[in-house]
Amino acid sequence: MTGVSPVLPGPQRVINSMDALEALPGVLASDDVTTALFVHGERSLHAALPYLPTGLSGVFVEGGFRGECSPSEIARLVELVLASGAGAVVGLGGGKALDTAKAVAARAGRIPVYLVPTLASTCSAWSALSVFYDDEHRHLGHEVWPTPTRAVFIDPRIVFDSPVDYFVSGIADTLAKWVETRSAFAAAELDELSRIGADSARRCGEVVRTDGVTAVADMRAGRLSPSWRHVAEAGILTAGLVGGFGGTAGSATAAHPVGDGLSALPGTRDLLHGVKVAYGILVQLAHEGHWDDVAELGPLYAELGLPRSLADLGLSLDDTDEIEAIAGVAVLPESSIHLLSGTSTAATVIEAIRSLESHQADLPRVSLAGRIDEQAESRALVPGNH
């Protein structure tokens, strides 16, 4: 029996209900936590404040969050933990705030971390890792943490009260879990644990394709519907099961590295992470020759405002310097693109981009969603995610 271990299942406890935060004081008390560093963005705190129980002010040490999961921000918050004697970290916010909270807890002596997601844009609340960026928002890599999150608290009302564009970005990131892993899962000899990862990846693709458009329409209309909850929970919870149980076979492959390549271009700095990954999904499908899937996803992308071509991103195939820059980042030695079967080089990525652009040449431009909220960025509230 081979399998694809190691397995990193996820948080020790998940409370997913309309009154989830009511349980936070009791959980902290049962874990003998008397002081906790509170990592949060201001907008996230504003959204969660109506649902936060009273009595936590005596427990929380204010940490704030300056907008990036960067080495400097992590070091600043670790110093606060050590100076205050905090015995835990509570993170509230989007993916970068939660990744920062996990990193701070790990580096401050593996103290417990408790997470409250306010966006359905990533599976950061579930996954036992953090993705790092520098202070200029450039991707640096990631680290897997040996200690799982102690508890996650999800109140769907808080997540529902987030920007729709971040939800759309999360939908693309959830879709990538299916596209990036299916070949690896198909080639692996799966044990029963890793089969959970494979089944979760399929579920991510299924939920997005079935309920994604309806979920976004419901969110825009202010309807906290079953479709919206299915898609939101797939992004926060199910997506985390893919890598948690799937091991290497459940890892990102080409879509995310292509998205990282796009992030290196100045012209894409205002685009949310998932929007760039969405284009990376199509490049991966072109690379693998899955043109039927490209065609199937076309209407979904158009409805959601996700890019089907470089033109939708404000880029051009004629700018060879930018295309080479995308490919160069995508195939860096540490890139997960090398988990694909065969050899991936800058030339193969460029060829996939050219093939995709030729295939999509006659499509109309989409009205692009997923731009970073400049007000949120300037106030270091809930910036981009991973």
Binding-site residues for NAD(+):
95-99, 118-121, 127, 129, 133
Amino acid at residue number 90: V
The DSSP 8-state label assigned to residue 54 in this structure reads T
- Closest Cα partner for 100 from 90, 87, 85? 90
Known binding-site residues equal: 95-99, 118-121, 127, 129, 133, 173, 256, 273
Query: β-strand 139-144 against 129-133: which pairing, if any?
Result: antiparallel
Amino acid at residue number 322: E
Q: Sort 307 into a burial class: Cβ within 10 Å, 0-12 / 13-18 / 19+.
A: buried
- Closest Cα partner for 149 from 101, 193, 108? 101
Known binding-site residues for glycerol equal: 173, 256, 273
3-state helix, strand, coil in the chain (%, to 5): 55, 10, 35
Beta carbons of 249 and 7 less than 8 angstroms apart: no
Q: d(Cα 264, Cα 321) in Å, to the nearest integer?
A: 12
Q: Where are the beta strands (DSSP E) in 101-195?
A: 113-117, 129-133, 139-144, 151-154
224, β-bridge pairs: none
Q: What six digits make up the tokens of 378?
A: 């300037």
Q: d(Cα 195, Cα 53) in Å, to the nearest integer?
A: 39
137, β-bridge pairs: none
Amino acid at residue number 195: R
